[in-house]
Amino acid sequence: MYQMISDDNPYETPMMIFPASHYTMGGIWVDYELQTSVKGLFAIGECNFSDHGANRLGASALMQGLADGYFVLPYTMQNYLSDQIKVARSTFDTSHPEFDKAEADVRARIQRLMDIKGTKSPDEIHKRLGHVMWNLVGMGRTLQGLVKAIDEIEEVRKEFYNDLRVVGKADDLNTELEKALRLEDFLVIARMMAIDALNRNESCGAHFREEYQTADGEAARRDDQYMYVSCWKYTGDNVKPILIKEPLNYEAIKVQTRNYKS
């Protein structure tokens, strides 16, 4: 297959591996049992960084997901679950007003989507959102493209709340309703991704701004201005989120720019 595509014999010439964006991403911190820093939350497969680099290739990423799920987690989660037997059942009392409010909020959200009764399925609107993200907030990003993306995401959001149609009933097993609920979340995340990308005027990791690259096409980082993790506080659908900066301080390693040509 490789020889058909590249006209090179991989037995004679080393295969060319294209550095896709996710090769540059870090993973979620996990301990030896694949538990994250959030107690009870485990990260398996490519999303953790236990084998960073090795789990960034297609086949091995899939293999790690299978291996973690089938062979690793059954022997690590049980250590966490074994402590739960000591937890008093009274702590799960659902008679508190917070539970009632959470249930009421979810039911109201579901009913609001069911009541729109428009003409577009969740899949149709999801596909439109996907095209916006793929074309304007993908691997290569520009100032003009990101500004346009934010406007187009808002148009998709308006279409969602005005022309969505969810077939079936809310109290049945309804996969279309599940899609609509997730799509509503995606609209918030998509807008957030575009705003974050627009805020960071550099190329770093999977974020490649075409305006910020070296003469030979490598990513041009601006560590003097952007050596921080961007955390955004959600303040509402129509309100700009608040940026909270978490500085990155490296003491044990020298910060360097990766170069695939060297």
Model pLDDT for residues 143-160, shown as the tens digit of each residue = 999 999 999 999 999 999
Residue 188 domain flag: no
Question: Does residue 154 belong to any structural domain of this protein?
Answer: no
Provide the domain count of the chain.
Answer: 1
Average of per-residue pLDDT across 79-108: 85
pLDDT at 24 over 90: no
The DSSP string of 35-103 is B-SSTT-B--GGGB-TTTTGGGSHHHHHHHHHHIIIIIHHHHHHHHHHHHTTS-GGGG-TTSHHHHHHH
104 inside domain:
no
Q: How confident is the model at residue 206 (pLDDT cuts 50, 70, 90)?
A: confident
Residue 48 lies inside a defined structural domain of this protein = yes
CB 220 within 8 A of CB 214: yes
Mind listing the pLDDT tens digit for each residue in 170-198?
Answer: 999 999 999 999 999 999 999 999 999 99
Query: Would 198 be classed as within a structural domain?
Result: no
Residue 68 lies in a domain: yes
Q: In this structure, what DSSP letter does residue 228 have?
A: E
Burial-class residue 39 by CB neighbours within 10 Å (0-12, 13-18, 19+): exposed
Q: Which amino acid is at 133?
A: M
Burial class (CB in 10 A: 0-12, 13-18, 19+), 206: middle
Burial (CB count <10 Å: 0-12, 13-18, 19+), residue 239: exposed
Structural domain for 48, as ranges: 1-86
Residue 225 has pLDDT above 80, yes or no: yes
Q: What is the pLDDT of residues 63-91, one digit of tens each?
A: 777 778 888 888 888 888 888 777 776 66
